[in-house]
Structure 1
Amino acid sequence: MSDNLIYVMPVKGDEEWDQELACLGHSIFSSLRYTWSGASKDGEFFVLRNVSTAHPLIFFRIYSYRIEILQLCSKFSSSDIHIVCQHIFNMFGQIRCIGFDCVESDREEIGFVAQRYNVSEDFVIDLCGSVARYTSMLGRQLQHDLKRYKKKLSTASSDVRYACFSGQDVAEAVFNEIIGLSASRMAGKEVASSHTLEKSRRLFDLVKNFGFLSVIYVDGIVRAGVICTRYGTEMFMHVVAHDTGFDRFRLGKLACYFSICAAIESGVLRYHLLSGWYDYKLRFLGKPVEFDRVEVYRSAGAVFFCLRRYLAIFYRGNGRRVKRYLKLRGSGLPGRSTQGPGVLPFLGRMVGPVRWLWRGG
């Protein structure tokens, strides 16, 4: 095989790879620490070096006839995807399709048979070097609200403390308290919390290596907090939570603002509010970035070989499009998925044949 192909063992060299990826400006979701924490370790993991100038390192995993690129939430132009796929198809003759999950990409032709649909989004704040300048860029109403509720909180209690913890200084007890606040808030809305034991364990593993927690204590008790990870000059907000008994102080909003200010002071250049279409993310100057799933096939014959997968992706993609259309319709929030799902009649005609194929004919 080519000299720029390196076999990767799951345990060795994680720190070195992650330092290099962080310097290249990749997402925390591209880190090996994130990949190993959620993946079974019995597969074959590889690194490609120097395939393209935009992506000097490409991590991927082989599953029989297909390959999955592991750089989640990274930016791949259509030309980057073409170069990477051409290289991999030339090296691995048995590979029929290559998946890029959750990547920021344009909508240009790739040069191969491909499927593409939206899977997630992020709201990214470009930080401007100083807290005062960032604050001045916020809307007047938000600036007024932040001052008002901070003063209201300090009036209600003489013991209000803002604190930050990073990396190994993050106490698991504080982490669990913030997760507990989030779960309690969801329970009050009669919504199941997304923070399962497994997901919390995985997040804490990331936090111990890349974590940044900002916490608001009132009378010595954690009443609000934000759980972030820092990767190079990028910071990612995974959880923001507050005690619902303090709703009148808008602690969630204060905690978010305090976390962004702490990120600016620590030299972070971009703050990621991650997925979820909420108005407060726009008010804090988050700019929406859309992420797609891109499935690339070697040829039309490869599509026939992978027909079940192709149809499953087709339905999943259009289902996501319909769901997003219904959610964003009339909300006033930006997003390219707000246009109507014109493929619905075609989907209806496809239901019967696809069910037949899916069940084995």
Structure 2
Amino acid sequence: MKRMDVIARYVPICDPIGNHKSNRSIEPDGITISCYENDVPEFIGADMDRIYGSLYSSLAQFSIYSDSRDTNTYIVRKGGKIITIFLFQCYDCKIRVINEVISLSEEDISRFTAYIFINFVSAKVILFTSIQTNIRTLPFPYQCVNNMEDIVLTLPKTGEEYLDSLGKNARRNIQRYMRNLSETFPSFRFELLVKDEIDDQTIRAIIALNRARMDGKNTASATDQAETEKIIRLAKKCGLVGVARIDGRVCAGSISFRAGSNYFFRAITHDPMYDAYWIGFLCCYLTFCECIVREAKELHFMWGDCEYKYSLPGVKRDLDKVAVYRSNWQMLRKGDVALKIAFRGCLHQLMLWSHSAKRRNGLVPQPAITSLKDLRNMEHRSQAIVAKRK
């Protein structure tokens, strides 16, 4: 996942909360709050998966994409049971919560922000990126802007129930195309690889197919060599790869990662040479059925408002960026942060509108295309200016 970090360098000016590794406070209702400074204890891994079931709020993802040396761990227990875990970092008077793609209540956010502003006196703003929330009021000034979406398929108990959910035409097509594919290509094989069974070559082949399809749409791929290596490492920790081969060559595949009872898909792709055989959809269907066998509850197709995700059938969940400020004065002083968040929210809404128009009419009005390009260019120029100043 591409993070939208608010700064690019580390300035350790947030005041620590004490001289001990773990600091603890007790609140009413049996609530106990602990904070581990510059430390991410290993014992929280299973609890994070249990509480959030999100790849982007898991130790597996964190161990590969982040650095624990400047990361703090906030833990809330109720009656001795852990109910909240946030990983967060301090940057230039900002607190950035690393947990993403999770659902947070108003109570969760209020408790954490109050704790931070009391114990980290230099913190002026707290940032949550890509969360589901229903906040209506907080004890501090805040912004809440929709900046992303997650398309989610809630799985039934059996593969038969999933097949029924696809509708009559889809059921008929799955049977027909599976038969046609097997008859035309007798060497067709589908296999599922888990964790250590996953080989580097298969991952690279699937990513290459995905990159080729994006190139065909004149879209740049964000998966470079460094990102590919991270995907391989993560796959060996918690990966599930569904791959279809013809004559031993990868012709379709998906890469996903398990967190709790849910799977998060990093790539779903196929060779357009086999479009006539519906091989991409068949690969998805077979993979999803295997996920059901493994008692998965949800499949997350992540951001990107693509039509095929809804045909699977996925449902959109909005993800918001939330900024909580110590005071109205600090919100004014951090006007650059507030404006950037508002700008990203407007850009995202315009992109959603253009995708919706394309689905309805088959094209995007030229003014919308021009506006999107102008806004993106403005964002890139502003980022370049900030980088030069730093």
CA distance in 1, matches of 2:317, 2:234: 23
Deviations along 1:288-336, whole A, 9 cap, x unmatched? 1110110110111111221222222222222222232222236369xxx
Match of 2:139 in 1: 111
1:338 maps to which residue? none
Distance between the aligned counterparts of 1:325 and 1:276, measured in 2? Answer: 13
- Looking at structure 2, the residues matched to 169 and 330 of structure 1 have their Cα atoms a distance apart, in angstroms, of 41
Q: Is 2:105 aligned against 1:81?
A: no
Q: Equivalent residue of 1:331, what SS?
A: helix
Residue of structure 2 in register with 1:5 after alignment: 35
In 2 relative to 1, CA 274–127 (structure 1 residues): closer, same or farther, beyond 3 Å? same
For residue 157 of structure 1, what is the aligned residue in structure 2?
A: 185
Q: Secondary structure at the match of 2:282?
A: helix
Which letter maps to 2:73?
A: V
Matched AA of 2:36: I
- Deviation track 1:113-167 (CA, whole Å, cap 9, x = no partner) reads 1112122111111111110111112121221221221111011011221101111
CA distance in 1, matches of 2:82, 2:359: 36
Q: TM-score, normalised by structure 1?
A: 0.86
Indicate the larger mover: 228-237 or 194-203: 194-203
2: CA distance, partners of 1:250 / 1:203 = 26
**Whole-angstrom distance in 1 between the partners of 2:220 and 2:336:** 32
Identify the residue that residue 48 of structure 1 maps to in structure 2.
Answer: 74
Secondary structure at 2:204 match in 1: helix
Contact 2:305–2:355 (Cα < 8 Å) also in 1: no
- The within-5 A match list for 1:282-321 is 282-321=310-349
Q: Which runs of no fewer than 5 residues in structure 1 stay unpaired?
A: 334-340
Q: In the aligned structure 2, how far is the partner of 1:299 from the partner of 1:247?
A: 56
Task: Point out where structure 2 has 5 or more consecutive residues left out of the alignment.
Answer: 1-16, 18-22, 25-33, 362-367
Q: What's the RMSD between the two structures over aligned residues?
A: 2.6
3-state SS of paired residue (1:24): helix
Match of 2:96 in 1: 68
Q: Contact 1:121–1:288 (CA<8 Å) still a contact in 2?
A: yes
Quick one: which amino acid aligns to residue 320 of structure 2? D
Inter-partner Cα distance in structure 1 for 2:75 and 2:215: 47
**TM-score relative to the length of structure 2:** 0.80
Q: Percent identity?
A: 23
Q: How does 1:244-323 map to 2 (within 5 A)?
A: 244-323=272-351
* Structure 1 consecutive aligned stretches of length 4 or more whose deviation exceeds 6 Å: 51-54
Q: Against the structure 1 CA distance between its residues 308 and 51, is the aligned structure 2 distance closer, same or farther, given a 3 Å change threshold? A: farther
Which residue is 1:28 aligned to?
Answer: 55
Q: Does residue 48 of structure 2 align to residue 18 of structure 1?
A: no
| 1:135 and 2:163 aligned | yes
User: Aligned pair count?
Assistant: 337
SS in 2 for 1:296: strand
Conserved 8 A contact 1:242-1:251: yes
SS of 1:229 mapped into structure 2: strand
Q: Is the 8 A contact 1:214 1:259 kept in 2?
A: yes
Residue aligning to 2:128: 100
**CA distance 1:51–1:114, shift in 2 (3 Å):** farther
